[in-house]
Structure 1
Amino acid sequence: MPSPTFTDRQKKYWDKKKHSKRKSPDSPVIRSYVQPKIDLIINKIDLPDDSKVMDVGAGNGYFSYWFDKRWDTTAIDYSEVILENNPVEKKMVMDARNLEFPDNSFDLVFCHAVLHHIDKPDRIKVINEMRRVSKKYVVMIEPNCFNPLMYAFGLLKKEERGLLDFSISYSAQLIHDGGLRVIESASWGALTPNRMPLTRLLLPIFAKFERKLLFGVNNIVIAEK
């Protein structure tokens, strides 16, 4: 029997029941984390109200919940456990390396904190699949390895070690290698939604930094076909 891959081990980790008890997508922390990023996206691309959006690796819906308030949104994730609490009506268990949709099915295909949980050789497969099922736009958000907190997190937690690859240049190059044209790439924000200490005290402060930052917590790449 072949040894489990990095991606296989990730699925086993995310299938643990504890991951079904994450913050609600409509919590103040998640809203403060998500909304400025969506604002950036709609400032950079044309996404009419009748657009179709797919959230790849949607988890319990941090982004898909807010996308679905404005656009027809489909959420997919490899883990049934974490997906079961996603409030979006259209959701299904699916491997991002093999998206079961026809070409050009969605106006925007989006992923957040997915690729660093995928085996390195398979990341380009995910980008290629996202490009294939997108009519026009692809957006990728990943942790920034040059952010000191994210770097330490990647070193200390084996399930997050893949983030150590994700500089802004690596993220943009991955998108480029997938046959897409980068519209915008930026390091962004200070909020860490699942690990926000002293939320009531610190959220108003950290929320002010949900914008472009030199060593932000995340890298955002907005691209088109």
Structure 2
Amino acid sequence: MKTFDEQQEKYWHAGYQLDRRDPSHPVIRAYAEPKIAFICEKISLPSGARILDVGAGNGYFSVHWSKWGDVLATDYSDVMLQNNPVYKKQVMDARDLKFPDNSFDMVFCHAVLHHIDKVDRPRVMREMARVSKKYVAMIEPNILNPIIAAFSTLKREEHGALVFTPRYVRSLLTNADLRIVDARTWGLLTPNRMPFSKQLLPLFQQFERPLPFGVTNIVIGEKTNA
């Protein structure tokens, strides 16, 4: 039987992962931009902020973060990074970020932690906190949403999300000595190829905001020693 890490490595290096929507796709813009705007409303990023996108994949968020600062995208998979449009990108393991302490104004990850073995998640959060000057933000599935619960149960590669309650996500940050600035469950839209998501986009966009049982967790943390 394959280990969790072996399953995830096969998943992220598989060719079908390249058959994904482009970051400029209307659904991806509608998914990413409001979340970034919400995060930036809650913090004070300097002009020309240095932003690290950990586990950036093909750039769903990297591209849209670039409107707020100078973005560096990292990912474990070189295959995924090849399709990330941002200029600065490096293949890198999130458990061992090759940057000095306090290198970035914002360190961000989207849908990364649930693809990492549970025992390694605290290490990833400590690394993200270490290389950040002040802010760390994370977006992960909300398992309390029925749609996410069903998807994560049925899809083997998503089983890691089954523990991602709002409380668990907050604990990942606080256990890395980060103070919670804000934490919400958000929206109904997902970046996956949901049936009719493009056709129903105007409807989904009305719910791209904090919701009691939204499909995603958004958590913003601040270094206590910043």
- Number of aligned positions between the proteins: 223
Deviation at 1:5, TM superposition (A): 3.3
Whether contact under 8 Å (1:146, 1:167) holds in the other structure is: yes
**1:169 corresponds to:** 167
Tell me which residue corresponds to 2:108. Answer: 110
Contact 1:20 1:84 in 2 (8 A): no
- Map of 2:156 onto structure 1: 158
Q: Find the counterpart in structure 1 of residue 183 from structure 2.
A: 185
Give the partner amino acid of 1:144. N
Residue number in structure 2 paired with 1:25: 23
Aligned letter for 2:196?
Answer: L
Residue type of the alignment partner of 1:199: S
Residue 96 of structure 2: aligned partner = 98
Cα 1:200–1:142, aligned 2, differ >3 Å: closer, same or farther?
closer
TM-score relative to the length of structure 1: 0.96
1:199 partner SS: coil
Maintained 8 Å contact 1:30/1:62: yes
Q: What displacement does 1:79 show?
A: 0.8
Q: Does 1:121 align with 2:124?
A: no
How large is the Cα RMSD of the aligned pairs? 1.1
Structure 1: any 5+ residue segments left out of the alignment? none
- Give per-residue Cα distances to partners, 1:67-117, cap 9 Å, x unaligned: 113310000001111111000111011100000011000000000000000
CA contact (8 A) 1:141 1:220 kept: yes
Q: CA offset at residue 39 of structure 1?
A: 0.9
Structure 1 moving runs of 4+ over 3 Å? none
Matched with 1:52 is: 50
> Which blocks of at least 5 consecutive residues in structure 2 are unaligned?
none
Identity score, percent: 57
Equivalent residues of 2:27, 2:198 under 8 A apart: no
Counterpart residue number, 1:209: 207
Q: State the Cα deviation string for residues 16-74 of structure 1 (Å, max 9, x = none).
A: 11111210101100000011101111100001221100000000000001111331000
> What's the offset of the Cα at 1:198?
1.5
What corresponds to 2:222 in structure 1? Answer: 224
Work out the CA distance in 2 between the residues paired with 1:142 and 1:77.
Answer: 16
TM-score, length-scaled by structure 2? 0.96
Pick which of 213-222 and 4-13 moved more. 4-13
